[in-house]
């Protein structure tokens, strides 16, 4: 027998559906299991309902419904978050995946993007105009979560983080009101959403500054894992003195299979994935010192920007098991390099990897208090991911990832890039926002005093 409270909620869901343009997916629906899936196959949450919002007015109605019915609210953009923060148990998921549009304005090279777009769709729409917005390094991630957490990618050294290119956001707040956040309007809110994640409201539309990026010089270079210490030492000097046009993140990895040549398969490597922009002759020349390091594989050349963004998409389909750990680093000293060699050699499955993304060039010239993103002085955002298709290997990838992280954490800057974290507790969130946490907590109190938006790297409303 159903309780009166459940009956009340059920009848309200009927009236709620009537005011929506989009659809509510309920546990009894045949596509519920498909709709509750997120990118990380380790996440298995069962929401009370998923609202497939058609537009901003559906988002307003969903926020009001969730708040008035005391439902836990999760907001899903691209659904890629490592910790599964785009979904929740028993609550209401506000799904933005149908709020998609990319409008390119060639008069001033600005681009309006829907709150539910994926980066692939943005790159495909801007590329024909010879433009790109700094995103990440893979095309299947959501614009929403990646942007609000900061956004580190191939163009970071030349054009900064994604948030450094954000001009404006249209948002639905916890009280159901709609506002614009920009340098001129609600500037505190605009400061907070540039790094502070989904804590302050739901972004239904982003406006970005795009840049003239069309053909890039990119691809991977590999060295045997035994050379990790030497290559990391060289890389640190090289990348921190390289022109802004050259970006390259360093990794310990295993080559899992195609499209790489067969003789590399299942071997462990220290590698760098490059992306150089600007004059292609200069870009080519910039790789001379790389070749002088005698790599075993160097597959770098001219390609359209969307191609470098999709290089690894095929290797990383939806539904794999992912376990994440992260930290910022200033140095790659001898002990750190030793640990990278040790854990790089013991990578447990072909898709598990460690990446260090440079926070230098333009990304480092924004002040640590100019946006909520506090670690502008860190040299690298590091991330370790244990990845495998088989749930039976979940323990194996988790243990390796945790042990790798524990070995490196004492040498880190303290906090981590929040988009590379799982649910790791309040102390970690505070450490990651550092000196900006108190201001974020004050802005949270102003815009979301009841902490309605708390399925995220949560900033508690300040007292």
Ligand X SMILES: Cc1cc2nc3c(=O)[nH]c(=O)nc-3n(C[C@H](O)[C@H](O)[C@H](O)COP(=O)(O)OP(=O)(O)OC[C@H]3O[C@@H](n4cnc5c(N)ncnc54)[C@H](O)[C@@H]3O)c2cc1C
Which DSSP letter does residue 460 get? P
Helix H or strand E segment including 31: none
Which one, of 116, 153, 106, lies nearest residue 134 by Cα?
153
Q: Which of 23, 48, 52, 76 is the binder for ligand X (CB under 6 A)? A: 76
162 neighbors 436 (Cβ within 8 angstroms): no
Question: Does residue 139 touch ligand X according to CB under 6 A?
Answer: no
Question: Does residue 113 touch ligand X according to CB under 6 A?
Answer: no
Taking the complex as a whole, the smallest distance from the CB of residue 114 to ligand X amounts, in Å, to 8
Rounded Cα distance between 27 and 91, Å, is 12
Q: Which of 22, 66, 151, 382 is the binder for ligand X (CB under 6 A)? A: 151
Identity of the residue, 136 or 344, whose beta carbon is nearer to ligand X in the bound complex = 136
Identity of the residue, 337 or 444, whose beta carbon is nearer to ligand X in the bound complex = 444
Question: Does residue 443 touch ligand X according to CB under 6 A?
Answer: no
Q: Which of 24, 49, 93, 152 is the binder for ligand X (CB under 6 A)? A: 152
Rounded Cα distance between 37 and 79, Å, is 8
Question: Does residue 78 touch ligand X according to CB under 6 A?
Answer: yes
Question: Does residue 138 touch ligand X according to CB under 6 A?
Answer: yes
Contact window for ligand X (CB under 6 A) among 50-58, 148-156, 276-284, 397-405: 148-156
Contact window for ligand X (CB under 6 A) among 72-80, 184-192, 227-235, 282-290: 72-80
Alpha helices in 268-390 (DSSP H): 280-286, 288-291, 305-309, 334-345
Question: Does residue 81 touch ligand X according to CB under 6 A?
Answer: yes
Question: Does residue 316 touch ligand X according to CB under 6 A?
Answer: yes
Is the peptide bond prior to 193 cis by the omega test (within 30 degrees of 0)? Answer: no
200 neighbors 453 (Cβ within 8 angstroms): yes
Which one, of 203, 81, 56, lies nearest residue 456 by Cα?
81
Exposed / middle / buried, residue 113 (Cβ in 10 Å: 0-12, 13-18, 19+): buried
Binding mask 24-43 for ligand X (x = CB under 6 A): ---------------x----
Contact window for ligand X (CB under 6 A) among 15-23, 60-68, 135-143, 261-269: 135-143
Question: Does residue 96 touch ligand X according to CB under 6 A?
Answer: yes
Which one, of 376, 379, 424, 372, lies nearest residue 401 by Cα?
424
Question: Does residue 310 touch ligand X according to CB under 6 A?
Answer: no
Which one, of 206, 208, 23, lies nearest residue 114 by Cα?
206
Identity of the residue, 167 or 296, whose beta carbon is nearer to ligand X in the bound complex = 167
Structure tokens at 348: 């447990």
Q: Rule CB under 6 A: which of 177-216 touch ligand X?
A: 197-198, 202-203
Identity of the residue, 111 or 152, whose beta carbon is nearer to ligand X in the bound complex = 152
Question: Does residue 153 touch ligand X according to CB under 6 A?
Answer: yes
Q: How wide is the angle at C-alpha 193 spanned by C-alphas 459 and 109, nearest 5°?
A: 165
Question: Does residue 47 touch ligand X according to CB under 6 A?
Answer: no
Identity of the residue, 197 or 337, whose beta carbon is nearer to ligand X in the bound complex = 197
251 neighbors 355 (Cβ within 8 angstroms): yes
Which one, of 147, 121, 148, lies nearest residue 136 by Cα?
147
Q: Which of 456, 458, 459, 461 is the binder for ligand X (CB under 6 A)? A: 456
Rounded Cα distance between 370 and 34, Å, is 41
Taking the complex as a whole, the smallest distance from the CB of residue 133 to ligand X amounts, in Å, to 13
Rounded Cα distance between 82 and 191, Å, is 24
Question: Does residue 459 touch ligand X according to CB under 6 A?
Answer: no
Identity of the residue, 40 or 221, whose beta carbon is nearer to ligand X in the bound complex = 40
Q: Which of 117, 412, 419, 458 is the binder for ligand X (CB under 6 A)? A: 419
For ligand X (CB under 6 A), the number of binding residues is 35
Q: Which residues bind ligand X (CB under 6 A)?
A: 39, 75-82, 85-86, 96, 115, 136-138, 141-142, 144-146, 148-153, 197-198, 202-203, 316, 419, 455-456
């Amino acid at each position: 027998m159903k309780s009166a409270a459940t009956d009340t909620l059920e009848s309200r869901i009927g009236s709620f559906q009537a005011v929506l343009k989009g659809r509510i997916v309920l546990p009894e629906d045949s596509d519920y299991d498909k709709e509750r899936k997120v990118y990380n196959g380790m996440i298995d949450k069962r929401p009370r309902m998923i609202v497939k919002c058609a537009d901003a007015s559906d988002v307003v109605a969903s926020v009001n419904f969730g708040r008035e019915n005391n439902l836990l609210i999760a907001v899903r953009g691209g659904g890629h978050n490592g910790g599964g923060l785009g979904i929740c148990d028993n609550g209401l998921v506000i799904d933005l995946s149908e709020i998609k549009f990319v409008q390119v304005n060639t008069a001033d090279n600005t681009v309006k993007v829907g709150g539910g777009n994926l980066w692939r769709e943005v790159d495909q729409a801007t590329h024909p105009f010879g433009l790109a917005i700094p995103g990440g390094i893979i095309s299947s991630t959501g614009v929403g979560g990646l942007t609000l957490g900061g956004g580190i990618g191939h163009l970071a050294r030349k054009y900064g983080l994604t948030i450094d290119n954000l001009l404006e956001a249209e948002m639905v707040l916890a009280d159901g009101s709609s506002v614009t956040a920009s340098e001129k309007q609600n500037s505190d809110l605009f400061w907070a959403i540039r790094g502070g994640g989904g804590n302050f409201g739901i972004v239904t539309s982003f406006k970005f500054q795009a840049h003239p990026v069309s053909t890039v010089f990119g691809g991977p270079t590999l060295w045997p894992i035994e050379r990790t210490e030497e290559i990391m030492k060289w890389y640190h000097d090289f990348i921190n003195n390289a022109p802004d046009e050259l970006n390259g993140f360093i990794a310990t990895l295993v080559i899992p299979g195609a499209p790489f040549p067969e003789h590399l398969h299942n071997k462990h490597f220290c590698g760098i994935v490059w992306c150089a922009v600007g004059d292609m002759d200069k870009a080519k020349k910039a790789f001379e010192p790389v070749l002088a390091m005698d790599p075993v594989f160097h597959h770098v050349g001219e390609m359209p920007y969307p191609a470098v963004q999709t290089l690894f998409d095929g290797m990383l389909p939806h539904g794999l098991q992912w376990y994440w750990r992260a930290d910022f680093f200033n140095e790659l000293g001898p002990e750190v390099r030793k640990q990278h060699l040790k854990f790089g050699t013991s990578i447990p499955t072909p898709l598990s990897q460690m990446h260090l993304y440079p926070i230098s060039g333009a990304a480092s010239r924004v002040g640590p208090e100019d946006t909520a993103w506090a670690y502008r002085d860190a040299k690298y955002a590091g991330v370790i991911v244990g990845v495998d298709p088989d749930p039976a290997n979940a323990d194996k990838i988790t243990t390796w990832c945790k042990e790798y992280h524990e070995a490196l954490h004492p040498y880190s800057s303290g906090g981590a890039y929040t988009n590379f974290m799982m649910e790791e507790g309040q102390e970690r969130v505070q450490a990651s926002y550092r000196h900006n946490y108190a201001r974020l907590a004050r802005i949270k109190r102003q815009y979301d005093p009841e902490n309605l938006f708390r399925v995220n790297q949560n900033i508690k409303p300040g007292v």
